[in-house]
């Protein structure tokens, strides 16, 4: 099956396009999600929900696809679209903070590392899912898997840095 004819492929690209547009708008401060909800900004809550989703869903997906292979297609769709939507929320959070702290790049250090690792995971996931015919696709699985490990390590560091 040609992936460019797949609805999943085009839906994934649409989510990435929406992510890019909303991120640029957040960076330029066309809309502001930096209002307090409890002790944190709303934009932080978006990213917290998204990161918890990713942090929980990835190991669950890993286990369930082996335990219940008959549900693999459904699990893969949840994995792909759920993580793309989580990436959208995290991108908005990162873009808004980057736009606000553009002159204080040193404050973005571990957040920048986390966003870059997550971007690598998304890029390699898209290639792994939709670029199976590419010659480099056989190397992508290794990069994708170990980027997830790096994601968890940087995430733990980022959370510990944020604690009072």
What digits encode the pLDDT tens for the residues 27-75?
A: 988 888 888 898 989 999 999 999 999 999 999 999 999 999 999 999 9
pLDDT at residue 83 in the model: 98
Mean pLDDT of the chain: 89
Residue 16: predicted pLDDT: 98
The pTM assigned to this predicted structure is 0.91
pLDDT band at 6 (very low <50, low <70, confident <90, very high): confident
Residues with Cβ < 8 Å from 9, sequence gap 6 or more?
Answer: 3, 130
What phi and psi, each to the nearest 5 degrees, are found at residue 36?
-75, 135
User: DSSP labels for 24-41?
Assistant: HHHHTTSS----EETTEE
In Å, what is the CA distance from 74 to each residue of 61, 64, 81, 82, 103? 10, 11, 11, 12, 44
- Higher pLDDT, residue 58 or 128: 58
- Greatest alpha-carbon pair distance for the chain in Å reads 52
Identify the three-state secondary structure at position 75. Answer: helix
- Are 23 and 15 in contact, with CB atoms under 8 Å apart? no
Q: In whole angstroms, give the CA distance from residue 140 to residue 136.
A: 7
- The residue count of the chain comes to 164
- Answer yes or no: is pLDDT of 104 > 70: no
Angle, helices 7-27 vs 72-100, to 10°: value is 10
Q: What span, in angstroms and rounded, lies between the C-alpha atoms of 69 and 126?
A: 21
Output phi, psi for 133, to 5 deg: -85, -10
Every domain of the chain and the residues it spans: 39-162
CA quadruple 66, 116, 14, 27: dihedral sign: positive
């Amino acid at each position: 099956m040609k992936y460019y004819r797949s609805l999943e492929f085009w839906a994934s690209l649409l989510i990435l396009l929406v992510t890019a547009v909303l991120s640029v708008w957040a960076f330029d401060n066309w809309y502001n999600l930096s209002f307090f909800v409890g002790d944190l900004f709303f934009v932080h809550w978006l990213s917290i929900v998204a990161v918890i989703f990713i942090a929980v869903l990835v190991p669950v997906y890993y286990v369930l696809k082996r335990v219940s292979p008959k549900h693999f297609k459904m699990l893969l769709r949840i994995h792909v679209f759920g993580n793309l939507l989580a990436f959208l929320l995290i991108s908005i959070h990162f873009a808004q903070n980057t736009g606000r702290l553009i002159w204080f790049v040193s404050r973005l250090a571990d957040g920048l590392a986390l966003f870059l690792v997550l971007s690598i995971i998304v890029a390699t996931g898209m290639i792994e899912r939709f670029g199976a015919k590419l010659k480099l696709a056989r190397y992508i699985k290794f990069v994708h898997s170990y980027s997830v490990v790096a994601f968890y390590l940087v995430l733990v560091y980022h959370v510990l840095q944020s604690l009072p």
